[in-house]
Chains A and B, each alone.
Chain A
Amino acid sequence: MTALGVESLSVELGGRLVLTDVDLAVDKGELVGLVGPNGAGKTTLLRTLVGLLHPRTGRVLVADRPVRRPGRAEIGYVPQRHEFAWDFPISVENVVMTGRTGRLGLLRRPGVADWEAVAEALELVRMTGLRTRPVGQLSGGQRQRVLVARALALRPAVLLLDEPFTGLDMPTQELLSELVLSLAHEARAVLMTTHDLPAALYTCHRLALLNRTIVAAGTPEQLRDERLWMDTFGVGEHNPLLKILKAT
């Protein structure tokens, strides 16, 4: 069943059309990788899905209901890691609780149900043991887990991740991609942008090739055609990218 639907979406940034006629659907239990070159509009697409940018045309549906304003829909958003003030004196569990700030609303303090959601989110990313640790002391992989838990604290039906693996070493990336895959189980749909094509080909159920619009979407097997990748990334036929594609 479709958890996230994007219908003929166009987005303008500073008077320039960045995305045109984007159509995409992500089902429950599915992990979809959004890949494309720099400037393809990956982050713009995620920000529009959350409601931070308003599309010029088209619409975003979460559980068949349109997203109009940020903070209303059942979407968990994990922005890039460098947006976060890691030197802030705050513990892991309190960061995860900040994910519920918008839901709680003004003047209300977290109650038992909120702390249960936080504990559940920490359990999902396997950070329960470090819940009282100040975030400044965490490693890169642990920091990414905290941000994922913060998004999960809302128990979202759709999880969006923006470049979760960038800047992490290989073993950490491997553990984290297993985690992301496990999150796509059951009722959740996961959409992530990534630069790491081999990992995306290996981990994701489906890939969406984006360059201003969705060039193609499908399982890695369905995307064997080299032309699609050459068009999306604007590379020639001898590019190493295509050799990676053949090898997988």
Chain B
Amino acid sequence: MSPIEFLTDLFNPELAFLPKALLIAVMSSVVCGVVGCYVVLRGMAFIGDAVAHAVFPGLAVAFVVSGNLILGGTLAGVATAILVAVFSQNRRLREDSVIGVFFVAAFALGIVIISRAPGYAGSLQQFLFGSITGIPDEDLYVAGGAGVLVLGVVFLLHKEFVAITLDREMARAMGLRVFWLDILLYVLVTLAVVISVQTIGNILVLALLITPAATARLLTDRLGVMMTLAPAIGGLSALVGLYVSWSWDFPTGGTIVLVLTAVFLTAWLLGPKHGLLARRPHRAADEHVMEAAA
């Protein structure tokens, strides 16, 4: 299918779900790209994974009682994130163990709940791997609102998030509320995940958080550039992924993730500074000069 035909399909009233899917996929990729920068720089990919799984029981409950999926997922994700943050205060257990306990428990709860719903197998697959059909208009507005909220909070508290990521000891010494900023960051990750889950699916959503930010990190040493590149990479990959999946009838979530992965590998191979094809001799000379200046 040519891009022109794809464009025609987008405006075909009988395929009204397609532009909605595109909008929500691009929107969630952009939000995940920005929030993912903190996730990647803090080395908290595991927390991202945990939150992604933890929203599942909320989605299941919302599905069973026909409530709003985004609201249900957010509540479950935030509850789990707070549990992790509180239990991590116990010095005997490292944070990753606490996460390991709670996110699998949340996921298990989700499976038990959704098994009570009729048509269990079909809806489970939709949750796990995403679907581009059947997104209600209402979800578009909720996801849009949540996305704007997340980006707004990032814009306002960026310097605090940078400070707690760089050096927690110093952040505490400056009087920053590190515990509450951590919780807030988990909530932002949860919101970014929840608005993405419907199209991408619960299992693959981690890729939207991690891959664009990791790709951007390969390409730059400037945080501002990274936080602009990551959402751009995410948004474009979502567009290309949806086009490819529509043309060849591939599953959407999987295709978007594979496009993201291809972009990541390309950056890794061709990156200007860190890539395999980088000009190594130049760098070595540069470091030599700096050692002398030390």
Contact = CB atoms under 8 A, between A and B. Distances in A.
Interface of A: 47, 50-52, 69-72, 77, 79, 83-85, 88-91, 94-95, 98-99, 101-104, 106-107, 109, 129-130, 134, 136-142, 150, 172, 175
Nearest to A43: B169
Contacts of A136: 221
B173 A89 contact: no
Nearest to A73: B175
A83 B221 contact: no
Interface string B163-207: 101111111111110000000000000000000000000000000
A88 B222 CA distance: 9
B294 A101 contact: no
B119 to A, nearest CB: 47
B222 A89 contact: yes
A99 B163 CA distance: 8
A99 B159 CA distance: 11
A129 B165 CA distance: 26
Given A98-B163, A140-B294, 16 more contacts: A70-B172, A84-B167, A88-B41, A89-B217, A89-B220, A89-B226, A90-B223, A91-B222, A98-B167, A101-B163, A102-B175, A136-B221, A137-B221, A137-B290, A139-B290, A175-B294
Interface in B212-252: 217, 220-223, 226
B173 A71 contact: yes
Given A77-B173, A98-B162, A89 B41 contact: yes
B166 A102 contact: no
A83 B274 CA distance: 25
Contacts of B226: 89
24 contacts: A50-B173, A51-B175, A70-B174, A77-B170, A79-B169, A79-B170, A79-B173, A83-B169, A84-B170, A85-B42, A85-B166, A89-B217, A90-B162, A91-B222, A98-B159, A98-B166, A99-B170, A101-B171, A102-B163, A106-B157, A107-B157, A129-B293, A136-B221, A139-B291
Counting chain B CB atoms within 10 Å of each CB, which of A79, A95, A101 scores highest? Answer: A101
A2 B74 CA distance: 53
A106 B221 contact: no
Contacts of A50: 173
B284 interface: no
B220 A84 contact: no
A169 B163 CA distance: 29
B160 A101 contact: yes
A142 B165 contact: no
The 6 closest A-B pairs by CB, nearest first: A71-B175, A102-B174, A134-B221, A139-B294, A141-B294, A79-B169
